[in-house]
Amino acid sequence: MRIAIAGAGKAGRSIARQLISHGHEVLLIDRDPAQIRPRSVPEAEWLLADACELNSLTEAGLATCDVAVAATGDDKANLVHALLAKTEFGVPRVVARVNHPNNEWMFDRSWGVDVAVSAPSLMGAVVDEAVSTADLVRLFTFANRETALVSIKLPEDSPWLGHEATDRTPPDGTTLVAVVRQGQPFPADAAGPLEAADELLFIAANHAEAALVAALDSHGTVRVV
């Protein structure tokens, strides 16, 4: 996947390294020459430009990106970049960093933001989850550290496709709690036939994750991240 990151500071570079390690193609954009440090992330593309200007984003080829990440230290810049990425360039997925909690209410789809993240350390995981077709992602680990809330997006060839969620029996140690479809959550018994790219939320014991992946994925495309 091709991913553009606005903001090549410490947070942006950290996110870039994480995404590159997972096989994604990354472009880092920053208007500050001091932040353009190709040696720090040599596998990335670098562009000295203003990520809030249409001409700069056209030069960056933002329309060819699968994900845009607004990771600057300025919330206003992040909102503007998110809005341009979504409305002017049609980027399918936009993830934005929230620097100040009081501004979090603005980071929604009216500004082009699909996912808002407060902690930069979590942004790489959120972006990677967003562009993966069928990865199992641990969203929350319970206090016993042996059980977690996990999500998995169904691949197009999953044997669960077309079946009612409640008609399928998940592996021992896992419980299906909800289905998220096009951003809307449904109880497992009200989701109807499962569709490709549905996100299934499970409570799963750590030892049962491999069995869960095997049950949902027929060709071994699912990773645990």
* pLDDT value of position 134: 47
Q: Does 168 lie in the same domain as 121?
A: no
Q: Does 114 lie in the same domain as 153?
A: no
Q: Tell me the average pLDDT of the chain.
A: 86
* pLDDT value of position 206: 87
Q: Does 150 lie in the same domain as 106?
A: no
The pTM (predicted TM-score) of the whole model is 0.59
Q: Does 157 lie in the same domain as 79?
A: no
Provide the token pair at 91.
Answer: 């980027």
In a domain, 92, yes or no: yes
* pLDDT value of position 22: 80
Which residue, 109, 131, 153, sits at the end of a domain? 131
* pLDDT value of position 177: 92
In a domain, 222, yes or no: no
Four-CA torsion 146, 148, 153, 155, nearest 10 degrees: 10
Q: What is the pLDDT of residues 52-104, one digit of tens each?
A: 999 999 999 999 999 999 999 999 999 999 999 999 999 988 988 888 888 98
Q: Does 113 lie in the same domain as 71?
A: yes
Q: How many domains does the chain have?
A: 2
Q: What is the pLDDT of residues 114-159, one digit of tens each?
A: 888 876 545 555 565 554 444 677 766 676 678 888 888 888 888 9
In a domain, 166, yes or no: yes
DSSP for 43-65, written as a single string: TSEEEES-TTSHHHHHHTTGGG-
* pLDDT value of position 126: 55
At 176, the pLDDT band (50, 70, 90 cuts) reads very high
CA distance 25 to 4: 9
In a domain, 224, yes or no: no
- Of 29, 1, 36, the C-alpha closest to 127 is 1
Average pLDDT estimate for 178-203: 88
Q: What CATH number is attached to the domain comprising 104? A: 3.40.50.720
Contact 4, 58 (CB under 8 A): no
Domain that holds residue 24: 2-131
Which residue, 89, 109, 131, sits at the end of a domain? 131
Q: Is the predicted pLDDT of residue 109 greater than 80, yes or no? A: yes
Burial of 97 (0-12, 13-18, 19+ CB in 10 A): buried
In a domain, 71, yes or no: yes
